[in-house]
Amino acid sequence: MIIDSHTHFGTMDKFNMPAKLLLKSMEKYKIDYSIVSNIESTEFTCELEPIPKKFPSRQLAANEKTLSLLKKYPAINFVMVHMGLGTDNKKAIDYIAQLDNLYGDTSWVSLESTLRAVEKCGSHKILFGTDSPIDGIDTYEKYLELIEGLRKKLPTKDFENLMFHNAIKLFKLEL
């Protein structure tokens, strides 16, 4: 079973991700379930230009607020998607390891960083996520190497934690 804990629908900047595209992609790559959010909360355009402040939500500001909420409300669980997009992921992994109510996902994260996160945080703190269908129907294609690398390098229990057990537990899914 595979549960993608980080998928999208919606339109923002150059991204147009209708729900039907996500469903077709999931079917093509045999993804059983996904947790879906609206893409309309972004920080930068495709050219890495800041989104004008007139837009209602900015991811960077939201992340700063979230870190303060993590400490204020330790009984509420949060997922740090991308684990520090555009970085070596070390700071994000440190946060995830230190905060019991913070989890990470694998969207835009290398195999090496994912393995480092599992080693430092434990397999129970990392979820499989992809940002699908951000690159179209074949977004999952670039994650096949990650999936196979994790399958080969992790014990079965740890692999299954990342691929579905953690999402079932964290989101209280009844499958």
Structure token pair of residue 117: 């996160």
Per-residue pLDDT tens for 4-53?
999 888 777 777 888 889 999 999 999 999 888 777 655 666 666 766 66
Q: Give 113-171 pLDDT, tens digit per residue.
A: 999 999 999 999 999 999 999 889 999 999 999 999 999 999 999 999 999 999 999 99
User: What's the number of CA atoms in the CB half-sphere (13 Å) around residue 174?
Assistant: 0
CATH fold group of domain 3-170: TIM Barrel (3.20.20)
pLDDT of residue 86: 78
The pair of three-digit structure tokens given for residue 2, joined into one six-digit string = 């595979």
Which residue intervals of 16-75 are DSSP H helices? 19-28, 59-72
Q: Where are the domains of the chain?
A: 3-170
**Residue 11 dihedral angles phi and psi, to the nearest 5°:** -135, 130
Q: Are 22 and 131 in contact (CB under 8 A)?
A: no
Q: Which residues contact 16 (CB under 8 A, 6 or more apart)?
A: none
Predicted pLDDT at 48: 63
